[in-house]
Structure formats: C-alpha cells, structure tokens
A and B are shown apart, each in its own frame.
Chain A
Amino acid sequence: MDNENKNIQLPQFTRGFFELEESFSWIGDGSFGGKASGLAFIKKIIDNNINPQEFPNAVVNIPKMVVLRTSIFDAFMERNNLFDFAINEESDYKIINEFLKADLPVEILGDLRTIIEKVKVPLAVRSSSMLEDAKYEPFAGIYATKMIPNNQPSLDTRFNKLIEAVKFVYASTFFKASKVYFTVSSHSVNEEKMAVIIQEVVGQTRNLRYYPHISGVARSFNFYPSGKSKPEQGVVNLALGLGKTIVDGGIVWTYCPAYPKSPPPFGDPKDMLNTTQTTFWSVNMNTLVDYDPTKETEFLILNNLQEADYDNTLIHSASTYDSRSNKIVMGVGADGPRIINFMPLLYMNDFGFNDLIKKIMKISSDALENPVEIEFAVTIDKKTDKLHFGFLQVRPMVVSVEEVEIDSSELESEDLLVASNRVMGNGIIENISDVVFVNPDKFDKKFTQKIALELDSINKILVKENHPYLLIGFGRWGSSDPWLGIPIDWSQIAGAKVIVESTLFGINVELSQGSHFFHNLSSFNVCYFSINYDGKFAIDWEWLNNQTLVNETEFVRHVKLNNPLKIKVDGRKGLGVIKK
C-alpha cells in the first residue's frame, strides 16, 4: 500500500487509452502517491472479488484515471526553480500565482492535450502525494482537488483549465495549511512529492449541474456506535451530489450498514427537515463562470435541494414530509418538502445497494488487513436501470489497541473537568497543561468564522512552543457550514492533542466529522470528546476560568494549569475522562 510501485502492474498511458476498457493508466516515473497506489491496489481486489452475478443491477469500477507520477512534479519544480520560493513564501495566493506562471514539463503536454481531446465529461484533478493517505500518515485532505467542467467549446480553453488545475494541485503542497502539518508531524516538506490523478468525475449533467446521485464515505470501524450497532459493523455517510458535502463535514445521512433501516435518533419527523441535507455540491457546467484559477472551488456550485427536485435526481434518495399527518413518506411521489434519507435504497435495498456497500467494505478491509475508509460516488442510469458504483479512494484506519480501562463510576468522580461516554481515540495522556477554550459567555454562531481565526493565531503560538493543548469549543469542529460549528481547517488547530466538542445550545446535531478531519484525528492520535452542552457531563467552566490566563481574544481564552491534566480514554467502550 505505501507506495509499493513495484506491485502496481498497470499500463502506461497511450494516446488511445480512452478508447480502451482499462480504467487506470500513468505518465512519468517515480511514486504514484498514496491515493493512486491505494486505488491501484484495490482495483485488483474489486476485479477479483465482485461477482457481477451477485450484483446484477450494479456495476462497480474505478472511474477512468491517469496518474501523473512524482517525476513530473520533480521536473516541474526543478525546471521552474520553484522549491526555495515555495518553501519560504507564506502567502498561498502568491504561491498559486507563481505556479500558474510556470511551465509544465514539455514531455507531458501532448498527453494532457490528448486527454482533453478524448474526454468529454468533467475531470477531477486530485492530489496523490507520497505522504497522503498512507496508514499512520496524517496528510489526508490537506492538498487540493480541483474539478473542472471540461465543457468549454474551445479545446484550448479546456486544455488551459486542465493545466491550471494540475499546477494548482502542485501549489497546494506548499500552502500554509500543509506547512503546519509538516511542523506538527515528524516530516519535512522536502520529503514530500506530489503525484496527480486526473480522473473522470462520476455523475450526470442536469440543467447545467453535473453531480452523482449519491456520494458516500464508508468506514468499516465505527468510533461512535449508537443503538444496537457495534464498532466493527462500521458506519456509512451518504450525501446527494459531490462528496465535498461529506469531506467538509456538512449534514449527511449516517447509518450502520448492519441496520440500514434504523433511522438516526430524531425526535419529531418535522425535525428532519432541518437536520438532514438541504444543499448539495455540483460541478458548474455553466460556461459563464468567474475566472479565478486560484480558487479550488472555481467550478463548483452549492445548490438548494429544490434544484435536485427540478433535476429529477431524488427518486432514489429522498422522502417527502407530509405536513397533514406529520409523517415522512418514502419517495418523491407526493408534493411536499423533500428529506434526503436514502430510504428507497436503504429500506428497499434497491439495486442491492447496502449489500454492495457491505461487500466492498469487507473485501477492502480483508485485503488491507485493517479497518478501512472508502470514498465512493454513485449514479443510477435510467436507461439501463443499473447502479454505477465509482470507487474513489480507500485508506486504512488507525484503530488503537492499547488497553485502557475506565470504570463507569469514574465518569462521576469529583475531580473531573470533563467526562463523556462518546469519545474517540484511546490511551492515557498526562502532559497537557494548556487549555484553549471558546468562551461560553461570548460564543455566538454568527461569529464562528472569526472564532476560527482567533484559534488559528493561538494554535500557531502553541505549535511553535511545542505545547500540546486541550481544545474546547461548540458545534462541529471542522464543519464547512459556519452555522453548524467552527469552520476551522485541521491545520488551524493542529497542535491540539485532545479536543472537546460540546453541542450548540439547543441544537442536537448528529456527530459526523468530515472524512478528512476524521482521518487526521485518528492519524495524529487525537482524543475527541463529544458532550451535550446541557447534558449529564458538564464542563467545569468555573474551574477553567480560575486558571492563569495567558491570552484572551474576543471569543477565545488560553489558560495555563499549575499541574498537567490526567486524560484517559477507553476506546473500546468509548468512555473518557479529563481529570483536573
């Protein structure tokens, strides 16, 4: 898995590649990078283990892709003399601009142009760095993925968009966020090399929007089992549209594949209108798009659910709220507000969808001998009535095996700062004397973006001083929606060793981090406590406020403790305590 190029027996790119059945090809030498290596590995597993007769209504494949191996990155950096500049420049914007001005190696230009000549669907230009996605390596989701519509009438325009996107992904190796990762991990930026995947985006065009019917992330180990489900039964997040909703930590549908019909715990059916997906991402196929090659989402657009209804793409994913009976009715046959709960697929097991997910999770974790996280996208072809399952990524999950016992009585002892019965992670930590917390008296959802910036500045200082800290805040960490939580990037809180997430006042949002955020938590062995603000396990705010104040911004306080905290997390039971 870890860049074992020698085991990758896949064909070199030829200009006839897009006429072939083969889905995977490469250009250049050097490493394929973590993501591409993972896909190359899993391709063989899929080919050998998915029996088409077992799933007659589904087609599983890896969307057609070409990997620009790391020698291309090396040549690009070297020939344009970009290394010193990229390492020393602090502004992402300046880095992007300098990279956009540089020339790609001449030996790949003809191949890139051929790709553009032959491919008529949107393309995802994805990072696949050497450190990314490998087991125990935390570099997931920090580098860029740029999607391009590839639908402009002029071949030249489409070609230019492709090379801009490749340069953008190269530039992302040196963004501020990436550099923080290097600081907090044991790696140096000099070790990193970037391969790039150019891949067809799974989806269909509807009214100038291109998106899949479903995107999903499946994990074969669930750190937050609820109800009857057990950790080893896994968990699946599903969303309408592009997977950005999931990886950014937006609202998605979460279920356990062992119990696909069990709904998440909503009190009233009406609540589901606000607590299920209401927006979705698509590739913007409108040719009138603001020119901004420095923006990762240049060609993406966030749509309201009504647009999907208009596109007629909700048949397999939505139910309808009936206000007269206050009930949720499966499907979109009736008029009314739509609710994205994937009931037709999960309740009726249409296309054998859930069985397919289970099968893929099993064969992937068996092959990697480890719990896995899988990203996928699905379209349903009306004409053939077949489900097309596009396998986008696989990576091993880190599941700690250290045995830590927490007695439930410990959750109620008197010296607690925080306790929780929903904790991710495992182990004992006794070296934290710094606590950074969002002041509950000043917290306001409309200021979450400002809070993110304040946290970033305190994090920088603590990272520089090499002081790990406990972070306490409200709402979903890492959510891209500022109304759901504090919209930080991982790099902005990368020095935190333990994180406490308290729900927002009055809103009980189902816990579901973005997949990249989640992967980083586990890779850095960060313990993650989840508590209800007004629930059983309250935070001792008074004690915190009496500690030595080091730094205070408008919304955030940093205090220093006289003695380090004693933090214990029992990963098997999901219990954790933070003792004063």
Chain B
Amino acid sequence: MASKEFNPFEMAQAQFDKVAEILNLEEATRHLLRNPLREYHFSIPVKMDDGTTKVFRGFRVQHNDSRGPCKGGIRFHPQETVDTVRALAMWMTWKCAVVNIPLGGGKGGVICDPHHLSMQEQEHICRGFVRQLAKNVGPLNDVPAPDVMTNAQHMLWMLDEFEAISGAKYPGFITGKPVGMGGSLGRTEATGYGVIFTVREALKELGIRPEDTTAAIQGFGNVAQYAIELYVKLGGKVICVSSWDQGDQCSYTFRRKTGIDLHELLKITDKFGGIDKVKAKELGYEVLDGEAWIEQDVDILLPCALENQVRGDNVNKISKRVKIIAEGANGPTTPEADKVIHERGIFVIPDFLANAGGVTCSYFEQVQCNMNYYWERDEVLSKLDVKMTSAYLAVSELARKRNLYMRDAAYVISVSRVAQACKDRGWV
C-alpha cells in the first residue's frame, strides 16, 4: 500500500497533466478530468462477533462518467487512503476508454483488514457499504466489482443488499459474481489472460517468439496466476514469482531457474496468494528476498501485485536482458522509475492497457446480466482477445506513428476519448 512519500493520486494527476499538455487540452477540461466528479466518504458501523461495535471508514469515488456508468472495484485494505481510491478511479476512466468500452471510472475502498475479520463481519461491512451508497450506485450509474481482498462472495452479499433495498432483481448492479449467480464465464481468467494477450502482441511486434522468452512475475494472486497459465501455454517460461507472506508480513520471491510449475505452487498457496516457504524449498525453489523478482535475468517482467513497486530505488536493478514490462497491477511504476525505463528503451505495456482484461470482462458480465442471457466461455474469451488486441494495436500504432512512449500513447487515446465525450455532452 502507499507509503508516506508516495501519493498515487498526485502521480495519476502528474501523468494526466503530461498528456493534457500533449493534447493541448483547454483549461476547463483539464480541471474537470484531473479531479473526480463525485466522492462519497462514509462510516460503516459493524456489530463484531465479540459483541462490540466497530466503525469502518469507506469511500466511493466516481471520477468520470461521460462515456457511461462508472466502473471500478471495491478494495478492503488496512492502509487504504482516499487518494489511492481517487487515483485508481481516474485510472479506471482511462482504462475503460483505452479498450473502448462504454463505461466511466470509479473505485471504492474500506479501511479494514480481512485477515482479521470473520466472514460474518465481512458480510456486515459489505451490506453496510451498500446501504450507504444504494442511492448513488446501480446498473445505470455505477457498477462495483471485486478488487484487493474482495471476491465473488463479497459481491454477492452486496448484490443481495442492493436488491433488497431496491425491491427488484438487478444482476447488472455488480460484477465479479459467481458463475451461475449472474457471473460471467471467463471473468476469473480475464485480467491475467488480458495481460498476456498484450504481451503476445508486443512479442510479435518485436519479432520474438514466446517460446524463446523467460519471465519474472511479482505477485501470485488471480492476475499473476492466469497470466502465468497463458504465458506458459504460449510457450514461455516463468522462472520466478513473488508473494506476500501473511505470517512474516513481508514478501518473498520463489525462483526455479528451470521454470516454475504453476499447479505445483497452487497446491501450497493460501487463499490470499501466499506461498508456503518450507514446502516450496522442498519442491526445489529458492526462496529469495521479496524484491528479487525485479533483478532476474529475464526477457519479460510482469509486476502483478500492488502499486508503487518499481521505483527510483530499484529500477536500476532491472536486468539488461529485459525487453518488455507489462504492468498487470495498477500503478506499479513510479514516474521516476518510468523515466529510467523509458530512457533504457524497455518496451512498456502500461497498466491501464495491460490489465484492462478484467474490466472488459466485467463489462461483458454487465451486458449479459442486463440481458439475463449468458455466453459460453469460448465466446467471452474470444471477445476479450479481440478487444484487448485491438486496443493494444491502436496504442502501439499511435506510439509508432507519433514516436510516443507506449504509456503516453495509451493516455493520449484514452484522455482524448474522454475529453471528447465531455465536450460532446456540453460539459466543457
């Protein structure tokens, strides 16, 4: 989570300002887009299992809805800040725009630590969150989804509460629901697969065969796991992953130079993505420092954990061999590190493009829910691939034509689409 020195919202605004300059946006548009349209800050009182009452602080930020209802996850994290949520909401706006889906950007969060909460307590938080926001969210204006430390079960509680309040069935209110309860097939895999669809296209562009590459991955949650699965299917070799150890309160890197085995590691992984150190060693993995993933001699780096992971202090540890960084996480690279990466000529697939598979599939889920008609997995994933690949190709083509850094090219496409929507609506 964000350190004291690091303010993700300031970083998001700085990124936006740079693009606003490239696009020569007028002042009003800049003001409108560099801040959220709406914010909700509220308290959620919860009766705890021990009979006490605890009040949790929650946020929902709607950054921009000029292109459609806001879309964004709800995070449960002890170090959650409103600035993190603001930044993430803004990135959601750009993310939806870059893959050209008719949604705006939003994000929510609750300051809490699910590791220390029972399922019942978490249910109360979910229901309380919806009670506070029911008037301001919904399938037509703001559609939440799972995010850090929330999952399908949380979404189902929230949906149930929303439908109870609304007095009708609204499966399109929230996405990331279980399959069979309004969820979409392919949603679980979508973000990780989406990252690799873009990596695959980047490799094609660079003239490199996937089977000739190796990768190091930060994180071992949902995104990382499915990214690994598809990357390996394409022929690539992952030599290390890093994961958070809840007991030690730090992360470790698990390396096996001959290639990690996803299924083997999953068997020794807890529900939060933490890998058992002892068992990993028994299976022949080296257990290294949490930051070791970044210094591996590989072709591809996939930061798939949290924001602020590639920084000025560790960027120079990146091996000369690295050709591609695909940002599976949101905001993993600080502007300072980004500058170095740019100068070194490493090909970056920026976060809001690389990890847009999740929101794209959430959009598909929403569409299916609103129709109450559900697609086959093949159909969902084929649409996802086409969307992601088209988005990637549009960004890389612009980058090539205008000699832009990939991140800037992606921003140019997104911001101009959103700015145009605001203009067309007569807001600016």
Contacts of A66-122 to chain B: CB distance below 8 A: 75, 103-107, 109-114, 117
- Partner pick for A105 among B200, B233, B376, CB 8 A cutoff: B233
Pair B234/A104 contact, Cβ less than 8 Å: no
0/1 interface trace, chain B 230-259, chain A, CB 8 Å (1 if under): 100110000000000000000000000000
- Partner pick for B385 among A75, A103, A109, A160, CB 8 A cutoff: A109
Pair B378/A107 contact, Cβ less than 8 Å: no
Residues of B within 8 A of A14 (CB): 204
Pair B381/A75 contact, Cβ less than 8 Å: no
Residue of B at shortest CB range from A105? Answer: B233
Asked if A107 meets B375 with Cβ closer than 8 Å, knowing A112-B382, A113-B386, A117-B386, the reply is no
- Partner pick for B389 among A104, A110, A112, A159, CB 8 A cutoff: A110
Pair A160/B233 contact, Cβ less than 8 Å: no
0/1 interface trace, chain A 128-165, chain B, CB 8 Å (1 if under): 00000000000000000000000000001001100100
0/1 interface trace, chain A 420-462, chain B, CB 8 Å (1 if under): 0000000000000000000000000000000000000000000
Pair A110/B386 contact, Cβ less than 8 Å: yes
- Partner pick for A160 among B189, B376, B386, CB 8 A cutoff: B376
A15 at the interface (CB under 8 A from B): yes
Residues of A within 8 A of B234 (CB): 107
Q: Identify the interface centre among A14, A103, A106, A163: most chain B CB within 10 Å of its CB.
A: A106
- Partner pick for B382 among A15, A75, A159, CB 8 A cutoff: A159
B interface residue count range (under 10 / 10 to 19 / 20 to 34 / 35 or more) = 20 to 34
0/1 interface trace, chain B 341-383, chain A, CB 8 Å (1 if under): 0000000000000000000000000000000000111110111
CB distance from A538 to the nearest CB of B (A): 59
Pair A114/B386 contact, Cβ less than 8 Å: yes
Pair B378/A163 contact, Cβ less than 8 Å: yes
Q: How far is the CA of A112 from the CA of B379 in the complex (A)?
A: 10
CB distance from A382 to the nearest CB of B (A): 36
B197 at the interface (CB under 8 A from A): yes
Pair B233/A109 contact, Cβ less than 8 Å: no
Q: How far is the CA of A290 from the CA of B38 in the complex (A)?
A: 52
0/1 interface trace, chain B 195-208, chain A, CB 8 Å (1 if under): 00100100010000
Counted as pairs of residues, one from A and one from B, with CB atoms less than 8 Å apart, the total is: 47
Q: How far is the CA of A75 from the CA of B232 in the complex (A)?
A: 12
Q: How far is the CA of A104 from the CA of B379 in the complex (A)?
A: 10
- Chain A count of residues within 8 A CB distance of the other chain: 19
Q: How far is the CA of A174 from the CA of B383 in the complex (A)?
A: 30
Pair A106/B193 contact, Cβ less than 8 Å: yes
Residues of B within 8 A of A111 (CB): 385
CB distance from A77 to the nearest CB of B (A): 14
Asked if A109 meets B378 with Cβ closer than 8 Å, knowing A15-B389, A117-B386, the reply is yes
Residues of B within 8 A of A107 (CB): 200, 230, 233-234
Pair B233/A75 contact, Cβ less than 8 Å: yes
Q: Identify the interface centre among A103, A113, A114, A117: most chain B CB within 10 Å of its CB.
A: A113
Q: Is chain B's interface secondary structure helix, strand, loop, or mixed overall?
A: helix
Residues of A within 8 A of B230 (CB): 106-107
- Partner pick for B378 among A15, A103, A117, CB 8 A cutoff: A103
Residue of B at shortest CB range from A79? Answer: B233
Pair A106/B386 contact, Cβ less than 8 Å: no
Q: How far is the CA of A15 from the CA of B383 in the complex (A)?
A: 14
CB distance from B100 to the nearest CB of A (A): 15
Contacts of B204-238 to chain A: CB distance below 8 A: 204, 230, 233-234
Asked if A160 meets B193 with Cβ closer than 8 Å, knowing A105-B233, A107-B233, A113-B385, the reply is no
Q: How far is the CA of A109 from the CA of B385 in the complex (A)?
A: 7
Residue of A at shortest CB range from B387? Answer: A110
Residues of A within 8 A of B375 (CB): 156
Residues of B within 8 A of A109 (CB): 378, 381-382, 385
Q: How far is the CA of A103 from the CA of B384 in the complex (A)?
A: 15
Q: How far is the CA of A114 from the CA of B382 in the complex (A)?
A: 9
Pair B385/A110 contact, Cβ less than 8 Å: yes
Pair B382/A113 contact, Cβ less than 8 Å: yes
Residues of A within 8 A of B193 (CB): 106
Residues of B within 8 A of A103 (CB): 377-378
Residue of A at shortest CB range from B389? Answer: A110
CB distance from A13 to the nearest CB of B (A): 11
Residue of B at shortest CB range from A102? Answer: B378
Pair B379/A110 contact, Cβ less than 8 Å: no
Q: How far is the CA of A109 from the CA of B80 in the complex (A)?
A: 38
Residues of A within 8 A of B381 (CB): 106, 109-110
CB distance from A29 to the nearest CB of B (A): 8
Q: How far is the CA of A246 from the CA of B381 in the complex (A)?
A: 39
Residue of A at shortest CB range from B197? Answer: A110
Residues of A within 8 A of B385 (CB): 106, 109-111, 113
Q: How far is the CA of A111 from the CA of B378 in the complex (A)?
A: 12
Residues of A within 8 A of B388 (CB): 110
- Partner pick for B379 among A75, A105, A117, A156, CB 8 A cutoff: A156
Q: How far is the CA of A112 from the CA of B382 in the complex (A)?
A: 8
- Partner pick for B233 among A104, A106, A156, A159, CB 8 A cutoff: A106
Residues of B within 8 A of A160 (CB): 376, 378-379
Residues of B within 8 A of A110 (CB): 197, 381-382, 384-386, 388-389
Residues of A within 8 A of B200 (CB): 107
CB distance from B87 to the nearest CB of A (A): 31
Residues of A within 8 A of B384 (CB): 110
Residue of A at shortest CB range from B390? Answer: A15
Asked if A106 meets B189 with Cβ closer than 8 Å, knowing A113-B385, A117-B386, the reply is yes
CB distance from B231 to the nearest CB of A (A): 10
Q: How far is the CA of A111 from the CA of B390 in the complex (A)?
A: 12
Residue of B at shortest CB range from A110? Answer: B385
Q: How far is the CA of A156 from the CA of B376 in the complex (A)?
A: 10
Residues of A within 8 A of B393 (CB): 15
CB distance from B53 to the nearest CB of A (A): 47
CB distance from A564 to the nearest CB of B (A): 55
CB distance from A256 to the nearest CB of B (A): 49
Contacts of A1-45 to chain B: CB distance below 8 A: 14-15
Residues of A within 8 A of B378 (CB): 103-104, 109, 159-160, 163
Contacts of A235-283 to chain B: CB distance below 8 A: none
Q: How far is the CA of A163 from the CA of B386 in the complex (A)?
A: 16
CB distance from B262 to the nearest CB of A (A): 13
Asked if A159 meets B197 with Cβ closer than 8 Å, knowing A15-B389, A106-B230, A107-B230, the reply is no
CB distance from A152 to the nearest CB of B (A): 14
Q: How far is the CA of A117 from the CA of B383 in the complex (A)?
A: 11
Q: How far is the CA of A110 from the CA of B186 in the complex (A)?
A: 13
CB distance from B230 to the nearest CB of A (A): 6
Residues of A within 8 A of B377 (CB): 103
Residue of A at shortest CB range from B193? Answer: A106
CB distance from A451 to the nearest CB of B (A): 42
Interchain Cβ contacts under 8 Å between A and B, 18 examples: A75-B233, A103-B378, A106-B189, A106-B230, A106-B233, A107-B233, A107-B234, A109-B378, A109-B385, A110-B384, A110-B385, A110-B386, A110-B389, A113-B383, A113-B386, A117-B386, A156-B379, A160-B378
Q: Which residues of A contact B (CB under 8 A)?
A: 14-15, 75, 103-107, 109-114, 117, 156, 159-160, 163
The 6 closest A-B pairs by CB, nearest first: A110-B385, A109-B382, A113-B382, A109-B381, A113-B386, A106-B381
Given contacts A75-B233, A112-B382, 12 further A-B contacts (CB under 8 A): A15-B389, A15-B393, A104-B378, A107-B200, A109-B382, A110-B197, A110-B385, A110-B386, A113-B382, A159-B378, A160-B378, A163-B378
